[in-house]
Amino acid sequence: MPTVSMTVNGSHVTKEVEGRTLLVDFLRQQLSLTGTHVGCDTSQCGACVVHLNGKSVKSCTLLACQAEGAEVTTIEGLASDGELHPMQAAFKEHHALQCGFCTPGMIMSAVDLLQNNASPSETEIREWLEGNFCRCTGYHNIVKAVQAASQGS
């Protein structure tokens, strides 16, 4: 079996993987980072979004081997020193989650949006999040949370 090495949430990891192992399965099963979720099998739902070298990717759409040498950040690595990331705090403050299953992917995607566009309009937020499904919130409060995070409130 091939060996893969990468940095996940700041820690260096090296593991043997089957060639067909997806990054999301590597994170969930071999590193026990179960905050990244699997909601579909066609790369549509976005529950598995993580950051790869700082950019949001669907971790169900990459083989673990393709992340060789990469810096990966998952939802577990977003808060620092016990302080919630502003996007996490905004999701809580604005009730942008209900069942919580889409939430990690939604937050990771929204964080990347603000890296690309510091003050997006409502339309831009909704367009950016087209790759993330939420069945609970109707997106209303997710949009509010992202707006709030972008305004630093």
> Does residue 30 bind another protein (CB under 8 A)?
no
> Does residue 103 bind another protein (CB under 8 A)?
yes
Q: What is the C-alpha to C-alpha distance for residues 37 and 100, in angstroms, rounded to an integer?
A: 10
On the CB side of 149, CA atoms within 13 Å amount to 32
Considering only the stretches 27-35, 51-59, 63-71, 112-120, report the one whose residues sit in contact with another protein under the rule CB under 8 A. Answer: 27-35
Secondary-structure breakdown of the chain: helix, strand, coil percentages, each rounded to the nearest 5: 40, 20, 45
Least distance from C-beta 44 to another protein, angstroms? 4
Nearer to another protein, 56 or 103 (CB): 103
Binds another protein by CB under 8 A, chosen from 92, 116, 118, 121: 92
Which residues in 107-146 contact another protein (CB under 8 A)?
107, 122-123, 125-127, 129-130, 132-144
Per-position DSSP letters for 41-57, written without gaps between them: SSS-S-TTEEEETTEEE
> In the structure encoding, which two tokens stand for residue 149, read together?
């995070």
